[in-house]
Chains A and B, each alone.
Chain A
């Protein structure tokens, strides 16, 4: 059972480049979300989705786009990378969209130079 799979594990970008962080889950969870984790800031919600075709913004959505065409996949797109987006990104899913008992992926370490 793979759970939540994130790719890539590491990525280095130059300022202005775009890229997509991939996230897939095989647990048939309706709720999926993206967080970034920074020292001293904890985990902060970027975007989330309560089902295919439905997405919404979290606490720090600027500079990121998401889409949810299938239950399994929830990619996060960086439109024009900035050094402030250097962070560790985690995708998570939950079988319980109301109380958010989250299953996390192993993370993507992103550096923007």
Chain B
């Protein structure tokens, strides 16, 4: 069983829709949670970063972490065609020097926003 599970999709929505992307994980030691966005034939870019549980908002993007359920989400409001990309979740157990933990990535969810 993978430590991080992410539905690969594909997910197709109309422009303006609210998008919900999710990951579940099994390692209760994970404390740092990230979302990366990857456009076709490009490298991933860091989109959101959160520590421990709670919400973080940045413009149209909101990241949520529920450590009790081992579940993280990324919401995109008023989705745009330019949001079409693959979204990867990533998480780690904390600072490497104390935890020895490196980032573990989900498989990625392919999103298409249709005009």
Contacts and interface: CB of A to CB of B under 8 A. Distances in A.
Nearest to B51: A99
Interface stretch (B14-22, B59-67, B69-77, B98-106): B98-106
Interface in A66-113: 90, 92, 97-107
| Interface residue SS majority, chain A | loop
User: How extensive is the interface on chain A, given as a class?
Assistant: 20 to 34
Interface residues of B, number: 26
Contacts of B41: 106-107
Interface in B23-43: 32, 34, 36, 41-43
B44 A98 contact: no
A19 interface: no
A109 B12 CA distance: 27
Contact of B96 (A41, A59, A98): A98
Given A43-B88, A58-B102, A99-B95, A106 B43 contact: yes
A4 interface: yes
A42 B97 contact: no
A59 B3 CA distance: 13
Interface string B78-110: 000000000010101011110000110111100
21 contacts: A40-B8, A42-B4, A42-B6, A42-B88, A42-B105, A42-B106, A43-B88, A43-B90, A43-B105, A45-B102, A98-B95, A98-B97, A99-B49, A99-B92, A100-B32, A100-B92, A100-B103, A101-B46, A102-B103, A106-B41, A107-B43
Given A42-B6, A90-B43, A105-B43, 14 more contacts: A42-B106, A42-B107, A42-B108, A45-B103, A48-B102, A92-B43, A97-B96, A99-B92, A99-B95, A100-B92, A100-B103, A102-B103, A104-B43, A104-B45
